[in-house]
Amino acid sequence: MKVVSITDLRQEATKLIAYAQQTREPVLVCVRSRPAADIVEAETYDELRREIRRLRHELFWQGVAEAEAEHATGQSKSYASADDAIADLGLPG
């Protein structure tokens, strides 16, 4: 991965974008030596977004299947209120 400063980005934005497009590798832009942004070729970015969406859906449906299995075996819980469910999950109410 290529790493550049924000100053380099200001001076060579066109070259850095071309580099990302040609190599399909991200360019990490740092501000004061800290990572600030990545320049990623558009098709790669779209592929990553689709993959994240696919994985989220897969995880969601996995959770649904687990909940259905718990319910089918009588392991699911009932709550008198949403507050009780939130408390059981350990979430702030």
Q: What is the reported pTM?
A: 0.67
Say if residue 54's pLDDT is above 80: yes
For residues 41-51, average pLDDT:
97
Residues 66-89 have pLDDT tens digits of: 989 988 998 888 889 998 888 988
Tokens standing for residue 31: 């501000």
Residues 21-31 have pLDDT tens digits of: 999 999 999 99
Which pLDDT belongs to residue 76? 82
What is the residue-wise DSSP string for 1-58?
Answer: -EEEEHHHHHHHHHHHHHHHHHH---EEEEETTEEEEEE--HHHHHHHHHHHHHHHHH
Calculate what percentage of the chain has a pLDDT beyond 90.
76
